[in-house]
Structures are given as C-alpha cells and as structure tokens.
Amino acid sequence: MSRAMSELAGTISRRRFLVRTASAAVAAAAAGVIGAPHVARAKAPFTLPPLPYADDALQPTISATTMGFHYGKHHKGYLDNLNKLLADTPDLAELGLEELIKTTAVNPNRVAIFNNAAQVWNHTFYWQSMRPKGGGKPSGPLLQRIEADFGGWDPFVAEFSKAALTQFGSGWAWLVVDGGKLKAVKTSNADTPIVQGKPPLITIDVWEHAYYLDYQNRRGDYIKAWLETVVNWDFAAEQLSRVKA
Ligand code: MN
C-alpha cells in the first residue's frame, strides 16, 4: 500500500471510529440503520466522501475511466443536485442524510430530493462494497450465515447474481438482513432498502453507467467479475456485526 493510501485508510478508519462512538450513530444503529457512517451525521450542504481507493485500483474489473465518470460526474451530480434542492427547502436542510431519505421516501412531493439523497447514500455504500483484491468467499460468521440462509455458497451466488441481472432497467442489487435472515434483493432507480428497515451488507450498482464503458450490454459479465474480484466481504462482515439479532 502506498503512503498516500495508508494515510487515507488511516483517516477513514479514524473517522469511522469517531462516528461510531458518537451518540447519533449509536441512535442510528439502535434504529437498525447502518452503513455509510461518515455521511450519516452530516447535514446540508453535504460533501462528497472520498473514494476509499484510487480510481484505477479496481482495474481491470472496473476501469479508471468508469470510476472517474461514475464518482466524479454521477455521484457528484447527485450530491450537487441534492444541495441545490435543499437550499430551497429549509425545513429539510437540518436532517441527516438517512433521516432525509426516510422522510422524503413517503412524501410524493419530495421525490426529487429523495432520488438525489438516496443516490448519494447508495453510491457511498457501493464504493465501500468494493476493494482492490476483493472477491471470492468471505469467512467466519458471515460465510456461515450466507450458507445457512441461502442453503450454501453457490445458491447465494446464483440468487445475488439473478437479482442483479433481472433488475429491469436502472437499479441496485443488495445483500440485506430481512427479518433476521440474509436475503438477496433488488431495488429500482434510487430506491434503497434502508427505507424498508432492511439493513444492507453489500450492494452492486446495475445502472448502465456502472458498467457500460467496460462491458457494454454484458451486465452478467460485470456481475460475475464483481463477485469474483472486487466485492468487499470485510465491509459486509462489519455491517453484519452492527445488526442487532
Ligand atoms: Mn451509479
């Protein structure tokens, strides 16, 4: 690991520690909300969290070009739109990101704010769901839970891949905790399982902008490579450890 990357990793883990011990994060965890902790407490105007790795770190599975557009244009675009919308909505501008997502999810007049806020959250969670030299099988309690709840490792891979492949149009596939069981689910557009009280452990972005430059129409190849080479099971295990039994 380069010195810059080491320093970045140190900064992120220190920030995670500080946030995790803060009362707001404890309250959020008690409410079953997990993930993306470094944006959970921030208020508008929101800032773009740094990528947890260099933009070429996931090559060849995800090219630096895809990462540059995806993070620098798409994720930043959602964030900029959200801040613009909140500048005209002072009643919502005091909410943290997760609270904002839950509040606007049930208000049809706030769909633009919901879409941009949820996409900011989802992308932050997606970057953390990947790492260089990731992929393959997890170990320990996470693997045991996956094998117990899906009936084995191969059935998990099949179900998660199917959720990601069959999401019609834009959206996301997730490994979530639902009613005490791990499940593979999909959501459309900006929708996110945190509004359904299903804590996510991992997500894959299946919007075309996530893979089209590298895989064109071959979404299945992207999903397969993602599971084999970049999925971050350490992050998933960390999320699972925060979910109350
Ligand atoms: Mn995306």
Q: Is residue 9 part of a domain?
A: yes
Specify the number of domains making up the chain: 2
- Give residues with Cβ within 8 angstroms of 196, minimum separation 6: none
Centre of ligand 1 from the C-alpha of residue 206, in Å: 7
Q: Is the pLDDT of residue 35 over 60?
A: no
In CATH, what number is assigned to the domain containing residue 215? 3.55.40.20
Q: Is residue 34 part of a domain?
A: no
User: pLDDT tens digit string along 111-149?
Assistant: 999 999 999 999 999 999 999 999 999 999 999 999 999
Q: Based on the domain organization, do 123 and 146 belong to the same domain? A: no
Tell which of 128, 150, 179 closes a domain: 128
Centre of ligand 1 from the C-alpha of residue 241, in Å: 26
Centre of ligand 1 from the C-alpha of residue 48, in Å: 14
Centre of ligand 1 from the C-alpha of residue 70, in Å: 6
Q: Based on the domain organization, do 92 and 21 belong to the same domain? A: yes
* Beta-bridge partners for 203: 174
Q: Based on the domain organization, do 118 and 16 belong to the same domain? A: yes
Q: Based on the domain organization, do 124 and 21 belong to the same domain? A: yes
Structural domain including 154 reads: 140-242
Q: Is residue 107 part of a domain?
A: yes
Q: Based on the domain organization, do 21 and 89 belong to the same domain? A: yes
Q: Is residue 49 part of a domain?
A: no
Tell which of 72, 101, 128 closes a domain: 128
Q: Based on the domain organization, do 119 and 219 belong to the same domain? A: no
Q: Is residue 51 part of a domain?
A: no
**Whole-number pLDDT of residue 3:** 45
Q: Based on the domain organization, do 146 and 101 belong to the same domain? A: no
Q: Is the pLDDT of residue 19 over 80?
A: no
Q: Is the pLDDT of residue 226 over 50?
A: yes
pLDDT band at 42 (very low <50, low <70, confident <90, very high): confident
Q: Based on the domain organization, do 168 and 227 belong to the same domain? A: yes
Tell which of 128, 151, 182 closes a domain: 128
Q: Based on the domain organization, do 67 and 171 belong to the same domain? A: no
CA–CA dist 232, 245 (Å, integer)? 22
User: pLDDT tens digit string along 67-97?
Assistant: 999 999 999 999 999 999 999 999 998 999 9
Q: Based on the domain organization, do 19 and 86 belong to the same domain? A: yes
How much of the chain, in percent, has pLDDT values that exceed 70? 83
Q: Based on the domain organization, do 78 and 175 belong to the same domain? A: no
Q: Based on the domain organization, do 151 and 94 belong to the same domain? A: no
Centre of ligand 1 from the C-alpha of residue 23, in Å: 31
Residue-averaged pLDDT of the chain: 87
Global pTM reads 0.84
Centre of ligand 1 from the C-alpha of residue 120, in Å: 9
